[in-house]
Amino acid sequence: MEKDKNPGAVEEREASRPRSIMPQNGGESRGEPSSPSSRSLTTFRQSTELVGRRGKGVILIVQADPRQSEATADVLEEMGYRCELVDSGEAALEAVKGNHHDLVLIDLVLKGMSGLEVLRRAREINPDLALMVIAEPEAVESAVEAMKQGATDFLLKPFNLEELRVRVFKTLEVQKLRLSHREQTRQLVRKFPFDGIVGSSDAMRDVTQRAAQVAGTDATVLITGESGTGKEVIAEAIHKNSQRSTNKFLKINCAAFSPNIIESELFGHEKGAFTGAISQRKGVFEHCHRGTIFLDEVGDIPLETQVKLLRVLENRLITRVGSNDPISIDVRVICATHRHLEELVKEGKFREDLYYRVKVVTLHIPPLRERPQDIPPLVDYFLRMYSQIHGKHFSRIDPEAMAAFVAHPWKGNVRELRHMVESLIIFAPGPVITMADLPESIQQSRKTLPNRQGSVGGLIGLPLKEVERELIRATLSHVQGNRKEAAKLLGIGERTLYRKLKLHSLT
């Protein structure tokens, strides 16, 4: 073999090029000596050069046959990926613990531990890891079972090189988008210290920003929106980020009490004030001194009680039912309603002076159908929360099922979505939620892009340019930002889509 004219270049290539850990042809592979530490990432793990040397991504190949794993690695390294090779399930799990792989490619036929067991345990070690399996043609059922247990994709032997390239590239691109979306959600949560508020839409960012601004004050807040949109979550977040956070936060649903009872609940009563009042009782305002009261469905308070509530808000004084002695209280009030208070004022069912007193600051939460981009992060949030609560190991929801979630109208808003995810956690086999797990009503939502007012924010009456913009935005939400898939659904070329995205200032 001719010597390289630049020995330094050879030395540099030898140091950076991973080699096989499995001997071939008398202990040599591709003309390079084999060693237990070769073709391993150990030499640059935790190094400052890690990002620069990982190439397009780091792939762990788990195959019992060294020649097959070498051939697989050759193809992937030509594409710019870094590869680490192991030949057993035990070695694979040890490697996964290092948490430096982007993808694990697992042959279902291994020495000792089965590929399915490796997949299951690898998913437990790192729930965010992308996993692909390789199976024999007669083992299709095992490959399907692997998908149910969290595999991203599978390849059946014998597969051609182009198929390997395409499937690996697609898997890693989807993984990159998913992790990027999750990081954006985490950054949003870090930016605004409000636990439980999840969403990336402009509408929710505006609500969160305004809530953050008002939290440090004692201003009365009115939160409006349909039932189930999360008004109580916003109210509690304001309290937790206020100077009253160490004191009580009490929630009262005004629609749950009859006109004869609600006044006593709010302001308390003296012994003998009415039949059944066998002892003195403090109301929630007195009980919540120096804290925050959340009056949900404030529009349902009777007119005679509204007068006393107005007095509390203006003078910070309450009077128990059956007493003439005013009591000074220090309470912040946050109100919420799904009703239009302006119309109730016109109908004489809500006092105008009280209306202006409770709406010092107004926060409006749009229905979920008008902010479909909030659905994926909400699903991810509830998936993790209820998996932990119910002791399950659900890792994700597949793209087709997520598209069905995005397409569904969710008339019950976030509350309905939350309950649906919890139900799936309880009854779905897991660890991946698929279309087959969804109720028929949600599956139907995916089959067509609904043509209903409100599904893309209400298109009736909008200029054609705005209709096109909303349709493109909604379609991108359906396919989780996949522009190629969006162009296919819209029936246009990718270049045309890119031009329209620029035209409409969509990213």
Whether the Cβ atoms of residue 129 and residue 150 lie closer than 8 Å to each other: no
Specify the length of the chain in residues.
507
Q: Mean pLDDT check: name the lowest of 316-325, 397-406, 446-455.
A: 446-455
Interatomic CA distance for residues 443 and 452, integer angstroms: 17
Whether the Cβ atoms of residue 413 and residue 422 lie closer than 8 Å to each other: no
Give the HSE-up count for residue 96: Cα atoms under 13 Å, Cβ half-sphere: 26
pLDDT (average), residues 243-264: 90
Q: Mean pLDDT check: name the lowest of 95-104, 287-296, 307-316.
A: 95-104
CA-nearest of 362, 360, 364 to 218 is: 360
Q: Which class in CATH covers the domain with range 7-184?
A: alpha beta
pLDDT band at 196 (very low <50, low <70, confident <90, very high): low
For 451, phi then psi, to 5°, come to -105, 75
Q: Mean pLDDT check: name the lowest of 65-79, 187-201, 428-442.
A: 187-201
Interatomic CA distance for residues 267 and 295, integer angstroms: 13
Judging by beta carbons within 10 Å of its beta carbon (0-12, 13-18, 19+), is residue 117 exposed, middle or buried?
A: middle
Place of tokens 């060294």: 66
Q: Mean pLDDT check: name the lowest of 9-23, 215-229, 318-332, 406-420.
A: 9-23
Query: Tens of pLDDT along 434-484?
Result: 889 999 888 887 665 444 434 444 444 445 666 677 778 878 877 778 888
DSSP string spanning 186-244? HHHHHHS--TT----SHHHHHHHHHHHHHHTS---EEEE-STTSSHHHHHHHHHHTSTT
Instruction: Output Rg (C-alpha) for the chain, integer angstroms.
Output: 30
- Can you tell me whether residue 29 is helix, strand or coil? strand
Q: Do domains 7-184 and 202-366 have the same CATH topology?
A: yes
pLDDT for position 446: 67
Interatomic CA distance for residues 247 and 408, integer angstroms: 40
Place of tokens 């779905």: 428
The CATH architecture annotation of domain 202-366 reads: 3-Layer(aba) Sandwich (3.40)
Query: Is pLDDT above 70 for 412?
Result: yes
pLDDT for position 192: 46
Whether the Cβ atoms of residue 231 and residue 268 lie closer than 8 Å to each other: no
For 61, phi then psi, to 5°, come to -105, 120
Token couple for 46: 């935790």
Q: Mean pLDDT check: name the lowest of 125-134, 216-225, 292-301.
A: 125-134
Interatomic CA distance for residues 273 and 280, integer angstroms: 9
Judging by beta carbons within 10 Å of its beta carbon (0-12, 13-18, 19+), is residue 451 exposed, middle or buried?
A: exposed
pLDDT (average), residues 315-320: 91
Cis peptide before 33 (omega within 30 of 0): no
Query: Tens of pLDDT along 23-58?
Result: 333 333 333 433 333 454 433 333 323 333 455 788
Positive or negative: CA dihedral 272, 276, 277, 279: positive
pLDDT for position 250: 94
pLDDT for position 278: 84
pLDDT (average), residues 490-498: 80
CA geometry: angle at 14 spanning 11 and 18, to 5°? 160
Domain 369-503 coded CATH 1.10.8.60: yes
Interatomic CA distance for residues 260 and 263, integer angstroms: 7
The H or E element that residue 85 is part of is strand 82-86
Query: Tens of pLDDT along 135-150?
Result: 888 888 888 888 877 7
Q: Which residues contact 114 (CB under 8 A, 6 or more apart)?
A: 89, 108
List the domain boundaries for the chain.
7-184, 202-366, 369-503
Whether the Cβ atoms of residue 320 and residue 267 lie closer than 8 Å to each other: yes
For 250, phi then psi, to 5°, come to -110, 135
Place of tokens 């400052």: 48
The H or E element that residue 63 is part of is none
pLDDT for position 175: 78
Interatomic CA distance for residues 354 and 337, integer angstroms: 14
pLDDT for position 57: 83
Q: What mean pLDDT is reported for the chain?
A: 79
Q: Which residue has the higher pLDDT, 464 or 390?
A: 390
Whether the Cβ atoms of residue 107 and residue 117 lie closer than 8 Å to each other: no
pLDDT for position 13: 37
pLDDT for position 380: 87
pLDDT for position 109: 85
Cis peptide before 463 (omega within 30 of 0): no
The conformation of residue 51, written as its DSSP 8-state character, comes to H
